[in-house]
Structure 1
Amino acid sequence: MFDLHRLRLLRELKHRGTLAAVASALSYSPSSVSQQLSLLESEVGVPLLEPVGRRVRLTPQAEILVAHTEAVLERLEQAEADIAGSLGELTGTLRIASFQTAALALVPPALMLLRGAHPRLRIQVTQMEREGALSALLAHDVDLVIDVEYPGDPSPRPVELEREVLGQDTLHLVHPDVTHATRPQEMLRVLASHPWVMEPDGTAARRWAMTVCRGAGFEPDVRYESADLLLHLRLVEQGHAAALLPDLVWLGRRPTIPLRPVPFGQKTRTLVTAVRRGSSRHPAIQTVRQALVTAVDRESETTLRRPPGDLSQ
């Protein structure tokens, strides 16, 4: 029978990419990781790694082993969930990774609910953008990710993860000059000559925003790039840029600037939680998910109310 510890090292190598990254994550030396994988090769009887420049990659036989290891780890996740469910109180640590606006608007109220109901459940939160967060979830560095999906985003959904919808977050066209036009499509054309702020190239948010602008017949002048939507908001408030911003950026407060609806295609992004397959039955994960749903409901009650000058209705 193959050694599970060595199989997990092989799986770690698939998800982390290098022996050095595996060693750093698990507090081993690279030589120790290499030695354990060599022993696994001896057990299996076929090469598991092949050199590619200064790196290594998994052979087809190694990929087969990793797929079976994922199945074993899923059953172990289920076993952990069943044991936790047999206990009368939630204890231990649950690690959450969240993108910025959800970390600001949803995590604190969820923590408040959890602190009162489950004082022995320890929650760790790390702010992390979605690409890194999902990789961290696959690598067992976190247990739950608060993620966001933009309309039409073709990004793959790893089969090793289970997703659950938290809610919908409406997206708006924002600029101090939005009152200069009566229809959203006209507003986009007015803003075609303005500077824009968007998230960085390669992100789902950027791809969606570019699609909206091109649908209006222009290529936006993107002068400012940042993953920080609060910076986007500040630039818009001071008249430096136009932007496409979600409700969540106002953190439960009334919007500070007039809003216009997005004229093309889907106009909401989807808030989701993601966990490793097999862990969704864990009572701590179920409880945290429910606390986040409650936080989304409360956020919607405040943010979705528009100020008197709102033009989005």
Structure 2
Amino acid sequence: MLNVHRLTLLRELSRRGTLSEVARVLNYSPSAVSHQLSQLEKEAGVPLLEPVGRGVKLTDAARQLVTRTDEVLAVLDRAEAELAASTPTVSGVLRVTSFHSALASILPTALTLLSARHPDLRVEVFHREIGAAFDGLAAHLYDLVIGDQWPDEPDPVRPGMERQELFSDPLLLAMPADWPEPASLADLADAQWAVDPEYLPGGQWVRRMLGDAGVVPKVLCDTDDPLLQVHLVRTGHAVAVIPSLLMGPFLDQTRAQVLPGEPVRRLFTAVRDGQTGHPAVRAFRAALASAARRESPDL
């Protein structure tokens, strides 16, 4: 009998190319991954890996097995959802991954609602950037992603996953309260900025938007923490682009105005296709939607 966990490791190797990358994503040592795949070869009775330089590559049999693994995992997801739906209470563990501003705003409210509605359901929350979140969802490390999509960004949701919209979140220009209101972004050419790193969609979009306005930002702080960005604005050291989800107590003592073109980022949840009907997923999405109606500025 083929071991499902080892099949998952083989699938990740087909996606990532190296044992070290599989080990990094799944929090194993490369030697542990190698050992598990050696055991899978014994179970399969055929070679699955062949050496290439210092690495390995999948054999034709291994690639065929990966295709079947995708099918097996999808069936197991659906079976798990059906079993959970057969019980009268929503229980178990739901592993959720999210980004900063959702963690600081709508997620706590959703957890409060969920605790009251389904006290037997335990939620574990992981803070991850969007790429790592979807890597983990595909690898069955997480059950649900709270994600965001910035303007003009391709849909980050991957094949085999289902997306459900939450709301659109206006993006605001945040400045210290005592600064004069700029007539255009060009008026901020000499300002210092707090921005997301360039490897993140938000950081790419802000730099592109400023570039289109003829502004090369003088970056005071390169950070993916929006609360630190807001704090630098509040204390008079920087300007920043801040999601309106952080309005209220986070943006006190600041001046916020709508950006040209009124851009928004879109918030959503995503799960693997086989998990859409899982009671825990449905319960969490319902609580999150309720929290969004309370917290989001456009609902």
- TM-score using structure 1 length: 0.84
Secondary structure of the 1:211 match is helix
Once the two structures are superposed, residues 169-197 of structure 1 have per-residue CA deviations (whole angstroms, 9 ceiling, x without a partner) of: 1101121266433xxxx330110121111
Q: Structure 1 residues 4, 234: closer, same or farther in 2, change over 3 A?
A: closer
2: CA distance between counterparts of 1:258 and 1:304? 19
- With 197-206 and 152-161 compared, the bigger mean Cα shift is at 152-161
- Sequence identity, in percent? 38
Once the two structures are superposed, residues 181-219 of structure 1 have per-residue CA deviations (whole angstroms, 9 ceiling, x without a partner) of: 3xxxx3301101211111112110011111211121222
Instruction: Return the match for 2:290 from 285, 288, 294.
Output: 294
Q: Structure 1 residues 75, 256: closer, same or farther in 2, change over 3 A?
A: farther
**Residue pair 2:163, 2:271 contacting (<8 A) in 1 also:** yes
2: CA distance between counterparts of 1:241 and 1:50? 54
Secondary structure of the 2:87 match is coil
Q: Which residue of 1 aligns with 2:230?
A: 233
**Residue pair 1:15, 1:139 contacting (<8 A) in 2 also:** no
1: CA distance between counterparts of 2:89 and 2:267? 29
Once the two structures are superposed, residues 84-105 of structure 1 have per-residue CA deviations (whole angstroms, 9 ceiling, x without a partner) of: 1111111111111111111121
Secondary structure of the 1:95 match is strand
**Residue pair 2:98, 2:145 contacting (<8 A) in 1 also:** yes
Secondary structure of the 2:184 match is helix
Q: Which residue of 1 aligns with 2:89?
A: 89
* RMSD value, Cα: 2.8
Instruction: Return the match for 2:240 from 226, 234, 243.
Output: 243
Q: 1:55: Cα distance to partner?
A: 3.2
**Residue pair 2:163, 2:268 contacting (<8 A) in 1 also:** yes
Q: Structure 1 residues 48, 27: closer, same or farther in 2, change over 3 A?
A: closer
What is the identity, as a one-letter code, of the residue corresponding to 2:186? R
2: CA distance between counterparts of 1:239 and 1:297? 32
Secondary structure of the 1:260 match is strand
Q: Which residue of 2 aligns with 1:153?
A: 153
1: CA distance between counterparts of 2:248 and 2:78? 35
Is residue 2:278 matched to residue 1:282? yes
Q: 1:154: Cα distance to partner?
A: 3.1
- TM-score using structure 2 length: 0.87
Residue ranges of structure 1 left out of the alignment (5+ in a row): 306-313
Q: Which residue of 2 aligns with 1:58?
A: 58
Q: 1:133: Cα distance to partner?
A: 1.4
What is the identity, as a one-letter code, of the residue corresponding to 2:7? L
**After superposition, where does 1:14-25 map in structure 2 within 5 Å?**
14=14, 17-18=18-19, 21=23, 25=28
2: CA distance between counterparts of 1:206 and 1:50? 40
**Residue pair 1:110, 1:294 contacting (<8 A) in 2 also:** yes
**Residue pair 1:148, 1:272 contacting (<8 A) in 2 also:** yes
Q: Structure 1 residues 102, 24: closer, same or farther in 2, change over 3 A?
A: closer
Q: 1:235: Cα distance to partner?
A: 1.0
Secondary structure of the 1:248 match is helix
Secondary structure of the 1:154 match is coil
Q: Structure 1 residues 232, 24: closer, same or farther in 2, change over 3 A?
A: closer
2: CA distance between counterparts of 1:247 and 1:31? 46
**After superposition, where does 1:105-144 map in structure 2 within 5 Å?**
105-144=105-144
**After superposition, where does 1:28-107 map in structure 2 within 5 Å?**
29-30=32-33, 32-39=35-42, 42-43=45-46, 47-59=47-59, 61-107=61-107
Task: Say how many residue pairs are matched.
Answer: 295
2: CA distance between counterparts of 1:27 and 1:83? 34
- With 242-251 and 159-168 compared, the bigger mean Cα shift is at 242-251
What is the identity, as a one-letter code, of the residue corresponding to 1:223? L
Once the two structures are superposed, residues 67-120 of structure 1 have per-residue CA deviations (whole angstroms, 9 ceiling, x without a partner) of: 321122111111111111111111111111111111121121111111111111
Residue ranges of structure 2 left out of the alignment (5+ in a row): none
Q: Structure 1 residues 64, 220: closer, same or farther in 2, change over 3 A?
A: farther
Q: Structure 1 residues 259, 160: closer, same or farther in 2, change over 3 A?
A: same
What is the identity, as a one-letter code, of the residue corresponding to 1:229? P
Q: Which residue of 2 aligns with 1:218?
A: 215
**Residue pair 1:236, 1:242 contacting (<8 A) in 2 also:** yes
Is residue 2:256 matched to residue 1:263? no
